[in-house]
Structure 1
Amino acid sequence: MSSTYKLTYFDIRGKAEPARLVFAQAGVPYEDIRIRQDKWAEMKPKAPFGHIPILSVDGVEVCGSVNIARFIAERHGLAGDNDLQNAEIGSLMDFVTDIGKNCENVMKETDKEKQKVAGAELSEKTLPAMLKTLEEYIQPNFTKHGVVYEAKLTWADIGIYLFIDNLAEYFEFKISADQFPCLSKLHTSVAEQPNIKKWLETRPKSVFTMAYKLTYFDFRGKAEIIRLLFAQLGVPYEDVRIQRSEWPAMKPDMPFQQVPVLEVDGNMTLCGHVNIARYIGEKHGMAGNNELENAQLAGYSDYITDLNLNIIQTFFYEPDQVKKEEKSAKLKNETVPNVLQTLEKHIQANGSPKGYVFGSKLTWIDILTYLLVEDVNNYFGITVDAYPGLKKLHAEVASQPRIKKWVEERPKSDY
């Protein structure tokens, strides 16, 4: 009687993909259980060692990515013919795992500058040296049989194939056929295995994403910078829009009794629209390259936010109509032009051909500035025709395909 297999992991390839590929090649059915990141917190205490993937075999749980792949392979004819051969294959795969750990350490580095230096060291020295060792190890047997070990395809071939794939996807490090001929041919050979090829063509398309839930009123307001960032990044999120009538009942349960709030993975709540925007920008690559640059970007956001708060207080919270008109006139004739002129100087000084406020790439500050340009036009009829840098920046952000699509399709509101 065959065993019942249940493989549990996130809805991504990641550490479960070796097991899925081995299952595919062996033609063995299993239940591919994929969980959302926001469900992991409640599942983690029940998981052996607090980690996934987990393979349930007739109710018995087996853990560890490499261990699971080896177990499946040894059970279903994708391993050696005896314990000693399996130990040799295991030694090889431990070496491949060590290379992978070097890559993981670079990915986990939180300091952007250190990550950049470590990434260069990895690509230019560490990987070539370790891949050379791997190439030389497999070369005698591969030249003779076209596989890594003995005369049949094993889980070692599949593991090395997947590792080469990951290098290309995450580090843009492609194996050169001239430099590593055996590894290059191995990758092609495994990809052409009928069962593997079918899995690659039909497997779920998935990327690693956090679960985001944004709560705000049913208009643009302070949440729009966050929505625009999510749109530009292509990051999915739950856009929870509440009515004014719902707010009194919800307010006491909100941190600081304000919205927007962003729930992250169901167990963390962030507050403050600028704070949330900064978090998303830094988390998803739309910020500076290090802490100092991020602090500089925050200076721009503080400057822009001061004007935004002034506008909001004038238009929505000033009860005296005469004072409201006086404040509005001062904003239109003095404050707004001064802020726009200051931002224009910074854009010109930055010298970006696309009008970026800071650096040479689109950041969350550019989108915040884009929104400011939109707001001063909506509230005061002020255009940026007299500010060529701002005009270029506004056009650049507006022309981003994902932002353009969001603006065209977003729910309609007056502000």
Structure 2
Amino acid sequence: MATKYKLTYFDFKARGELTRLMFALGGQKFEDYRFPREDWPKEKSKTPFGWIPVLTFNGKSYCDSMGIAKFVAREFGNGGETSLQMLEIDQVTGIVVDTLAALSKLLFAEESKKAEVHKQSYEETFPKYLQALEKILTENGTGFFVGKKITVADVAVFDSISERIEDSLLSKYPKIKANLKTVAANDRIKAYIATRKQTQNMPTYRYRYFNARGLGEVSRLLFAIAGKDYEDVRFTSETWPAEKPNTPLGQVPVLEIDGKPFSQSSAISRYLARTFGYYGKDDMQALEVDQVLGIGQDVMTDLIKSVYEKDESRKAECAKANKEVKFPVYMGMFEKLLKNNKETGFFVGESITLADLYVFDLYEKIKSMVTLDDYPLFKKCIDHVGSNEKIKAWVEKRPVTEN
């Protein structure tokens, strides 16, 4: 029976393209399964760990983009002929990974810092990596990074920098430039590039809100748990008048997707949850998420009413009613929903969704008015979210703000 290969990834180049290039170089046909980012929620559950690309080989699935590309390269004779050559390949691809991280940092730098990051990238960071690659090519002396023929090391460099680093810098490294031309001139690589589907790159996100958690933090939590890069633009109440005319509806938060702005905090967080795969596995689970969000929004309405009440006596009455009457009712609702979900500590299914993230953020706003020990399942949910490695890392590094 013939070996079967299937690559699953977005309909982008990004992290999936190196493996596609390695299949092309190896002259191997494969199933190039692509899907739009809108379909990620339903595709996510099919992956081993909830991320892509995924290579399915003889019916078993594997993750890690660079690992997949190297495997494909070895399968078809482009992954190094000896253990030492494989080490040399790993050395080059390690530099590639660092370069991509630096490119991502530049791409998603805050607008106010972009010029500074660009200067540092092109004067310090990129030259450091390019000098290392130039040195490797010089020492090998064949025009290739490893041995005497094209390997995954050459293709990885080609895929990562040929269209990303400005030629004004690349031109200072003649051996790299020559290597890039050699890869581009390879018959199989050339044929693939000439016929490959034209796609967009991964979307870029720019998120604009006050330097506060407020109505903006749920979306930041989604970016954090999904491990997605974005530009986190923050401003103060003093600079808000200057920012306001640049918003679609005169309010924030605003999410810009490839430069197009959208408003309404709830709409934004729902979009991100759907796109990143945190809105449930199907329509029924999405309804369960919405049910939790509805209760949470009722809590927020009562909270905001008490916070912004100008009459001090009424303000005190609202706060008292919230603490003694309203919030216990809402907390009871949350506890009931958690119990109905088999006491997993999640509101929907058996993993974190937008519902859990919303409640995690909500608790930060009302914790002075509720006793967590009275609601053990609610506490379990908060602990689940708070102990998630990506959420924990975000909470530890995010700017300290009053609300």
**TM bin (shorter chain):** 0.5 to 0.7
Give the match's secondary structure for 2:233: strand
Alpha-carbon spacing, 1:108–1:253, altered in 2? closer, same or farther (3 Å): closer
Structure 1 residue identity aligned to 2:304: I
Structure 1: distance between partners of 2:213 and 2:38: 35
Q: Distance in 1 between matches of 2:271 and 2:236?
A: 26
- Aligned residues between the structures: 275
Where do residues 147-226 of structure 1 align in structure 2 (5 Å cutoff)?
A: 170-175=53-58, 187=75, 189-192=77-80, 194=146, 195-199=150-154, 204=160, 209-226=202-219
Aligned to 2:122: none
Question: Within 1, Cα distance between the matches of 2:220 and 2:37?
Answer: 27
Of 239, 249, 252, 1:259 maps to: 252
Q: State the 1:170 CA deviation.
A: 3.3
Of 295, 300, 312, 1:303 maps to: 295
- Residues in 2 aligned to 1:289 and 1:11: alpha-carbon distance in whole angstroms: 26
Comparing 186-195 and 328-337, the one that deviates more: 186-195
Task: Show the 5 A alignment for 1:286-325.
Answer: 286-315=278-307, 317-325=308-316
2:39 paired residue among 105, 110, 124: 110
What is the CA distance between 1:217 and its match in structure 2? 0.7
**Counterpart among 334, 341, 349 of residue 325 in structure 2:** 334
Larger radius of gyration: 1
Tell me how far apart the structure 2 counterparts of residues 176 and 257 of structure 1 sit (CA, whole Å). 52
The residue type equivalent to 2:14 in the other structure is I
Seen in structure 2, the aligned counterparts of structure 1 residues 365 and 13 have a Cα distance that, compared at 3 Å, is closer
Partner of 2:228: 235
* Secondary structure, aligned partner of 1:215: strand
Which deviations, in whole Å up to 9, do the C-alpha atoms of 1:133-187 show, x marking residues without a partner?
xxxxxxxxxxxxxxxxxxxxxxxxxxxxxxxxxxx9634522379xxxxx99971
> Partner residue of 1:351?
342
Q: Who is 1:390 aligned against?
A: 378
Moved more, 190-199 or 292-301: 190-199
> For 1:368-408, what per-residue CA distance to the aligned partner results, in whole angstroms no more than 9, with x for missing partners?
11112221114x2x231011101111111111111111111
Q: Matches of 2:44 and 2:354 in 1, distance apart?
A: 21
1:244 matched to 2:237: yes
- For 2:366, the equivalent position in structure 1 comes to 376
Secondary structure (helix, strand or coil) at the match of 1:269 reads: strand
Contact 2:74–2:80 under 8 Å retained in 1 = no
CA contact (8 A) 1:373 1:383 kept: no
Q: Per-residue deviation at 1:199?
A: 3.5
Q: CA deviation at 1:324?
A: 0.4
Which consecutive unaligned segments of at least 5 residues does structure 1 have? 1-9, 23-68, 79-88, 121-167, 178-182
SS of equivalent to 2:249: helix
Give the alignment's TM-score, normalised by structure 2: 0.60
d(CA) in 1 for partners of 2:72, 2:385: 41
Residues 290-310 of structure 1 show CA distances to partners (whole Å, capped at 9, x for unaligned) of 233223312221220121122
Q: Residues 41 and 276 of structure 2 are in contact (CA less than 8 Å); yes or no, is this contact kept in structure 1?
A: no
Distance 1:116 1:410 in 2: 27
Q: Would the aligned equivalents of 2:73 and 2:79 in 1 still touch at CA under 8 Å?
A: no
| SS of match in other structure, 1:390 | helix
AA in 2 matched with 1:246: T
Matches of 1:16 and 1:171, distance apart in 2: 13
**Using the alignment, how far apart are the partners of 1:406 and 1:116 within structure 2?**
23
Letter paired with 1:304: G
Structure 2 unaligned regions, length at least 5: 1-11, 61-70, 82-145, 165-200
Cα offset for 1:111? 8.9
C-alpha deviation, 1:17, in angstroms: 6.1
After superposition, the Cα gap between the structure-2 partners of 1:323 and 1:302, relative to the gap in structure 1 and judged at 3 Å, is same
Residues 175 and 184 in structure 1, CA contact (< 8 A), matched pair in contact too: no
How far did 1:342 drift?
A: 0.7
| Alignment CA distance shift 1:186-1:236 (3 Å) | closer
